[in-house]
Structure 1
Amino acid sequence: MEEKQTHEDESLDQIVKITKKKRKPQEPGVIYLSRIPALMNVKTIKDIFGQYGEIGKVFLQPNEKAANTKRGRIFTEGWIEFLDKKIAKRVATNLNNTLIGGKKRSRWHDEIWNIKYLHRFKWAHLNERLAYEKAVHKQRLRTEIAQVKRVANYHIQNAERGKKMKAIEDRKRKQGKSFEEDEKEGDYEITQRETEEETMAKKRKLDSVVETSKGGRKKKEGLNKKSFFARTSLIKSIFSGGHDDDDED
């Protein structure tokens, strides 16, 4: 009889061990709060949601635009991690669009929860998102600072230029010259860029001038040749006494 009892106890222990091995480990689940009531902080969130299940991590996004009050910081959105995703799903389904409730004197008694369960969302994803938003925020700050520096440098250069112009004006006045006349003398004439039609017309005009100059040069060369032959014949007739070489022969 005792041997039978011990055998049954051993079989029960084996069943318990097998069931423990087959039981899957709990997977955490994350719920998202799209709105955090005013002056609600991490401690109050843990106290409220901790009664439904074991909570792992909580993160509330601070509102950077709103000023912090003496009572506490103001948050815009939040994420809550439950160690069991089944509990997280149950909480999101049952508490979404319901009153927070609690004590009637509580400032959040008539507030409404806006909760959503994030499927396949891990806490590491939130860390990546926060790191990305932080980097984007830093880049935006660097861009704004660079823009402010450019504007400041522009105003500084204008101020220095104004001081130089004033010093020149004072010096000219001491010399008995008017600053306005010097400015008029130093003005630059700004011409408008030529159009395509104007450029082609100038080119055609230049080609015609070149052609006429070539024709005039040819006529001039012909006249020069004629005058050269006339001069040589005149000189030849003078020294030959009016007779050609053929007549002498």
Structure 2
Amino acid sequence: MVDHVEENREASKKKSKKPIESGIIYLSSIPTLMNVTILRRYFEVFGEVGRIFLQPNVKAKSRGKRGRVFSEGWVEFKNKKIAKSVAASLNCMPIGGKKKNKWREELWNIKYLHRFKWAHLNERLAYEKAVHSQRMRAEISQAKREANFYVQNAEKNERLKKLAKRKLKGDKNEKVQESGIDQDSSFAESERIYKVRLKETDEEIMKKKRLKEAKDSKKTRRKNLNSEEMQGDELSKQKSFLTKIFSAGAGADSEQEDD
């Protein structure tokens, strides 16, 4: 009976025990060239380790898969008590180890995250990824706008250059024409300026007088001829008019005699 009671007590104790909760520690800095396998090997000494996530450092240059550099990390312990003790004991402590260990002098920066679950980390990573993609889309759209603006300005500049060249050609042609006209006019003016008028001789003066007299005599003759013709026309008109009158009177007298 006693054994049976003790067994029941042990079973009730087991049932009353709460399930072991996992705990997560946060590493604000990861030693250089330390990866997931090395961290797991190091922390498994303290207790059972679950999931590990290390954030790659985008700014630092990576040396392949083995030489990747990480900026921060999260380590999950199956028991949160172990996670608390690890964070309390190792924070701001050197990594230690053998003398050949390259991380011997580096310090741990560890913090225990209260009430933090792995789902929260996934949500945070998804949010950061969405923000990053949105930022990239915004930058790409801005770059496209800048490129289109640059192309439009370049095309506009080319068109303006072509128009300016055409205008320059037209202005040059006009200037050449104007300069030719100016040269001709200046040449003619220079000729006019440098022409020397000589005095006329007596013979030239007499010739001019004779030519004038001949022209005047021709004009007078033409006037006289025209006046004579006009007079002849008037006389002929008067004669024809008189003949008409007299012929009409003679016809009337002959008719009276017949009667």
TM-score of the superposed pair, with normalisation by structure 2? 0.63
User: Once superposed, what is the RMSD of the aligned Cα atoms?
Assistant: 1.6
1:125 matches 2:114:
no
| Aligned counterpart for 1:40 among listed residues 18, 28, 34 | 34
- The equivalent position to 2:25 in structure 1, one of 27, 31, 56, is 31
Q: 1:85 Cα deviation (Å)? A: 0.5
Question: Which of 20, 40, 52 is residue 14 of structure 2 equivalent to?
Answer: 20
Query: Partners in 1 of 2:100 and 2:26 — Cα distance?
Result: 26
- The 1-side partners of 2:81 and 2:160 are apart by 77
Specify the SS of the correspondent of 2:157: helix
What do the CA deviations read for 1:115-166 (whole angstroms, capped 9, x no partner)?
1111111111111111111111111111211221122112111110111112
Asked if 1:60 corresponds to 2:51, the answer is no
List aligned pairs for 1:92-103, cutoff 5 A. 92-103=87-98
Residue 134 (str. 1) matches residue 129 (str. 2): yes
Instruction: Give yes or no for the alignment of 1:51 onto 2:34.
Output: no
Q: What is the CA deviation profile of residues 167-190 of structure 1, one whole-angstrom value per residue up to 9, with x for unaligned ones?
A: 223333444569xxxxxxxxxxxx
Measured in 2, the distance between the counterparts of 1:133 and 1:177 equals 65
Q: 1:146 aligns with which of 133, 138, 141?
A: 141
Q: By how many angstroms is 1:73 displaced? A: 0.7
Greater helix share, structure number: 2
- Which residue is 1:162 aligned to? 157
Instruction: Please give the alpha-carbon distance, in whole angstroms, between the structure 2 residues aligned to 1:36 and 1:151.
Output: 39
Question: What are the superposed Cα offsets for residues 50-104 of structure 1, whole Å, 9 maximum, x if unpaired?
Answer: 1101111111111011111144210011111111101100111111111111222
CA distance in 2, matches of 1:177, 1:10: 122
Q: What residue number does 2:69 align with? A: 74
Q: Which segment drifts farther, 129-138 or 10-19? A: 10-19
Distance 2:38 2:3 in 1: 47
Letter in 1 for 2:98: K
Unaligned regions of 5+ residues in structure 2, if any? 174-259
Name the amino acid aligned to 1:86: K
Whole-Å Cα distance in 2 between the matches of residues 147 and 122 of structure 1?
38
In 1, distance between residues paired with 2:165 and 2:90? 79
Identity %: 56
**TM-score when normalising by structure 1:** 0.65
The one-letter amino acid of 1:48's match is Y
Offset, 1:49: 0.5
Alignment of 1:108-123 (within 5 A): 108-123=103-118
Number of aligned residue pairs: 172
Please, which runs of 5 or more residues in structure 1 have no aligned partner?
1-6, 179-249
1:153 is aligned with what amino acid? N
Larger radius of gyration: 2
Quote the residue 2:85 is aligned against. 90
In the other structure, the counterpart of 2:166 is 171
Matches of 2:142 and 2:75, distance apart in 1? 39
Secondary structure at the counterpart of residue 56 of structure 1:
strand
SS of residue paired to 2:52: strand
